[in-house]
Structure 1
Amino acid sequence: MSPVAIGLVFPGQGTQRQEMGAPWRDTEAWSLVEEISLHAGEDVEELLLRTDADTLRRTDLAQLAVFAVAMMAHREARRAGLPAEVAGCAGHSLGEYAALVAAGALSLADGAALVAERGRAMREAAEGSDGTMGVLVGAPLEKVAELVDGLRAGGAELWVANLNAPGQVVVSGSREGVEKAAVDAPGVGAKMITLPVGGAFHSPLMAPAAERLGVALARVRFAPRHTPVVANADARPHDGDCDWPALAVRQLTSPVRWEESVRTLTEELGCRRLVELGPGRTLAGMVRRISPATRMLAVDGPKALETLAEELAEALAEPPAEPLAEALAEPLAELPAGPRAGQEVSA
């Protein structure tokens, strides 16, 4: 059976909030909390129900909490009728780990352990450098790239970190570098929104975290075949014939190419609907800017499951989508390449 034209997307750090697990407490999926706690070495129930908002901003805790909610949302969506076979998955930064578990590339146990190790490694790397991030809103990537390249040529530590959507590019670097970008932003028609993060994520300043994560990834087995997952690092769909550890390490120090990833899901993999699984609706907003014609549904709590069931019934009645790769007369390799860099306001 061909996969239905549905893609799954998973949010990243920045979507956490106090008591974010409360809506899921009475669902069957709540049993996942104990399993994730066991493999992550952290009391996830405490994070989801009783941890205050300020504490939950801590990188390692935020990432684990968001991952847990995403996994519960996915489990309940499956119970509501989401088919096991979908066209593709993707996750924004941290969300890539939830996508890998949902796609069958990683076990839940390995996913939880990796998320915990990744969060701790990123927190330690951030403590070793005075880094931060900011969103440049209103300017195209080309102008932002020119601004960043010019400041870095002048000695600033500054890089493009996330390509979220048209007119929304996240930069990352030293606090001084991001402050300089804020001063110069009007010159390229942009406005800077500083992000309340404790590190320069998705930049070379995360190299110590990447090295530590690489050690953990080497101990994990990825499935040889699985549902395609569009990787942040290259915006390409991978179904097992790839080096996921290398892609995951690269993700920590290079841009999240989210806009390209969404286009890969909707155009190349033929996804007519995208379902966001996890806290908040951040990705739904981005998708609507990237691909307005794509139907989008956010499952951010059990109340959304009824709407999901209705959408699924309609989707399953549709004829299979024809992926762009098959519809085009010319091979994809001959198409112009998209921008070579890519974030949510997450890690």
Structure 2
Amino acid sequence: MSTHGIGLVFPGQGTQKQGMGEPWRSTPSWALTSEISEATGEDLAELLLETGAEQLRRTDLAQLTVFTVAVIAHAEAVRLGALGGDVVACAGHSLGEYAALTAAGALTVTGAAKLVAARGRAMRDAALEREGTMGVLVAAPLEAVEALVTEVREAGADAWVANVNAPGQTVVSGSPAAIEELSARAPEIGAKMLRLQVGGAFHSPYMAPAAEALRTALEAASFASGHLPVVANVDAAVHTGDGEWPDIGTRQLTSPVRWEQSVHTLAGQLGCVRLVELGPGRTLAGLVKRTLPGLPVVSVDSPAAVEALLVPAG
């Protein structure tokens, strides 16, 4: 396929599934599981091959496993030369930002893995401290969702916009009562609520304790002073180093993920003419197609998909 102006995108928590490491275990890049296991104290091979779906829903384990599959997929694509020489930028959805930073050269695999482990633990602890949940409002414009969320919050319930994923797909976060209220009132704005099976109210003020804990790890981490452009979730802007990431990573936990705008940044400001999603599932490809239907996007979720990148288009 043509590789001119490629943007790499990496999925977040929620894309994990039982046995998702199986397709990768015979590849040379599977060796990364040992490095990540040593860095984090978790047995990634067991998590990716044997651990059941219910256990993988645990926030800290979900994040580590999705990150590991994403960096393995990227490493295999690089090893085989499947991405060509025209990768111009990276971006990741929430947790995926750490795989994006790794692919961009801002972090080493083990450095990023340690941060992912710290982030997952901090978010899990914060969720245990204060119960929260999330849901997706589909089919309504962002402005209508924001107005409804504001109305519910001003009435005394804890509700916030958490992810602006694509036109007609906005994730909300908050207390169980607030999400229940938003679900009941969704038809008022022509929307339908789909509940998310998550362990907390992520990307909301409920994650403030996690952000405080994560900041310590981020400030101790070694980020490269310059790297391939990464579009950050918090502002959908381009960042290339200069010590910004500890602040950006801290803010990300309590701020909305601006994914729809990030896709526009990749295609517009950064000139990406196609995107490659690396990691489990094909969630981001679907969001990209809803945001910019004319922008080619391919999902690389298996070695076969990596090899397909090597086949010329047409």
Confirm or deny a common fold (TM above 0.5): yes
Residue 249 of structure 1 pairs with residue 250 of structure 2: yes
Question: Hey, which bits of structure 1, 4+ residues long, moved more than 4 A?
Answer: none
Residues 232-272 of structure 1: CA distance to partner in whole angstroms, max 9, x if unpaired? 00000111135111000100001000000011001110101
Q: CA deviation at 1:185?
A: 0.6
Alignment of 1:84-123 (within 5 A): 86-123=87-124
SS in 2 for 1:228: strand
Taking the aligned partners of 1:295 and 1:138, their CA distance within structure 2 comes to 23
Taking the aligned partners of 1:120 and 1:94, their CA distance within structure 2 comes to 13
Judging changes above 3 Å, is the alpha-carbon distance between structure 1 residues 267 and 203 closer, same or farther for their aligned structure 2 residues?
A: same
Residue 80 of structure 1 pairs with residue 80 of structure 2: yes
Residues 173-219 of structure 1: CA distance to partner in whole angstroms, max 9, x if unpaired? 00001000001110011000111111000000000000000000110
SS in 2 for 1:310: coil
Matched residue type, 1:256 = V
Alignment of 1:229-308 (within 5 A): 229-241=230-242, 243-308=244-309
Alignment of 1:189-228 (within 5 A): 189-228=190-229
Contact 1:80–1:308 at 8 Å: present in 2 too?
no
Judging changes above 3 Å, is the alpha-carbon distance between structure 1 residues 236 and 86 closer, same or farther for their aligned structure 2 residues?
A: same
Name 2:175's counterpart in structure 1: 174
Taking the aligned partners of 2:35 and 2:236, their CA distance within structure 1 comes to 31
Name 1:149's counterpart in structure 2: 150
Contact 1:40–1:113 at 8 Å: present in 2 too?
yes
Taking the aligned partners of 1:164 and 1:258, their CA distance within structure 2 comes to 5
Q: CA deviation at 1:43?
A: 0.7
Matched residue type, 2:69 = V
Matched residue type, 2:289 = R
SS in 1 for 2:271: coil
Taking the aligned partners of 2:220 and 2:7, their CA distance within structure 1 comes to 29
Taking the aligned partners of 1:267 and 1:307, their CA distance within structure 2 comes to 26
Name 2:49's counterpart in structure 1: 49
Matched residue type, 2:10 = F
Residues 121-161 of structure 1: CA distance to partner in whole angstroms, max 9, x if unpaired? 00000011110000000100000000000000000100000
Taking the aligned partners of 1:262 and 1:139, their CA distance within structure 2 comes to 19
Question: So what's the TM-score if we normalise by structure 1?
Answer: 0.88
Q: CA deviation at 1:84?
A: 5.8
SS in 1 for 2:253: helix
Q: Percent identity?
A: 62
Contact 2:67–2:96 at 8 Å: present in 1 too?
yes
Question: So what's the TM-score if we normalise by structure 2?
Answer: 0.97
Taking the aligned partners of 2:223 and 2:20, their CA distance within structure 1 comes to 29
Name 1:11's counterpart in structure 2: 11
Q: CA deviation at 1:287?
A: 0.5
Name 1:21's counterpart in structure 2: 21
SS in 2 for 1:218: helix
Matched residue type, 2:96 = G
Name 1:337's counterpart in structure 2: none
Q: Which runs of 5+ in 1 are unaligned?
A: 316-347
Larger displacement relative to structure 2 (82-91 or 288-297): 82-91
Taking the aligned partners of 1:267 and 1:85, their CA distance within structure 2 comes to 16
